[in-house]
Amino acid sequence: MTNYSPQGPYKFFLRRDMSLEKMMLTNYPRLRKDFKKLEKKVGSNGKWKGVQIKKKHLEWLLARGEDRAPKMLCPYCGEEPVEHFLAIYTFGGKYFTIKESFLFCKKDSCKKKASPEIDSRHEVVATLPVKFSSIDKFSSKRDRRKVISLLRKSFNLQGRPTTEDLFSFFSN
């Protein structure tokens, strides 16, 4: 990890209302792809300063999406913050079932309470961390939106956070 610590959000030159910070909620998979592209393009000592800054900012932002502390308390014990969620897939179906009652904390007893009865012949359950990278585990937009909605609840990012709100969330 670099020791880069930005002074402010990364806003787009031509679209001042859009920022990398906002894209964490609106187009996370695109950010991951862009970062990979930039890594290839500039390596560690690329020449273009603007590209270097974007790459550094993205690297920083993606890492911050992995180490945020959830604020929402576990719906089962009400003592510990939520840490994971379940996603259930029914074979042959198009989408996953992902909902608020599938969030739980670090305790096994709470995971049990969050886990519905499933028919293992027809269904599989995935357990994922409350981290932004979990968005990327789903290929459909609809499932990604459900994950984002859980992340927003978990991190108390509901409503319409501005670029500045999000920057402060990711930098603190």
Restricting to residues 107-136, name those near Zn ion by CB under 5 A: 107, 110
Helix residue ranges per DSSP H, 27-69: 28-42, 49-64
Shortest approach of Zn ion to residue 115 CB, angstroms?
13
Contact range with Zn ion by CB under 5 A, out of 5-13, 32-40, 91-99, 105-113: 105-113
Asked whether position 86 contacts Zn ion by CB under 5 A, the answer is: no
Nearest-angstrom CA–CA distance, 142 and 160: 20
Residue 27-56 contact track with Zn ion, rule CB under 5 A, x = bound: ------------------------------
Which residue is listed with tokens 């996603």? Answer: 87
Contact 32, 55 (CB under 8 A): no
Pick between residue 50 and residue 78 the one whose CB is nearest to Zn ion. Answer: 78
Cα-based distances in Å from 20 to 13, 49, 54, 143: 12, 17, 9, 21
By CB under 5 A, the count of residues binding Zn ion is 6
3-class secondary-structure state, position 103: strand
Asked whether position 102 contacts Zn ion by CB under 5 A, the answer is: no
Select the residue interacting with Zn ion from 62, 74, 147, 157 (CB under 5 A): 74
Shortest approach of Zn ion to residue 114 CB, angstroms?
9
C-alpha distance across the termini of the chain, in Å: 17
Q: Radius of gyration of the chain from Cα atoms?
A: 18
Select the residue interacting with Zn ion from 10, 60, 76, 85 (CB under 5 A): 76
**What are the structure tokens assigned to 140, written together?**
């459909």
Pick between residue 70 and residue 161 the one whose CB is nearest to Zn ion. Answer: 70
Which residue(s) pair with 85 in the sheet?
103, 128
Contact range with Zn ion by CB under 5 A, out of 19-27, 102-110, 126-134, 141-149: 102-110
Interface positions with Zn ion (CB under 5 A) = 74, 76-77, 105, 107, 110
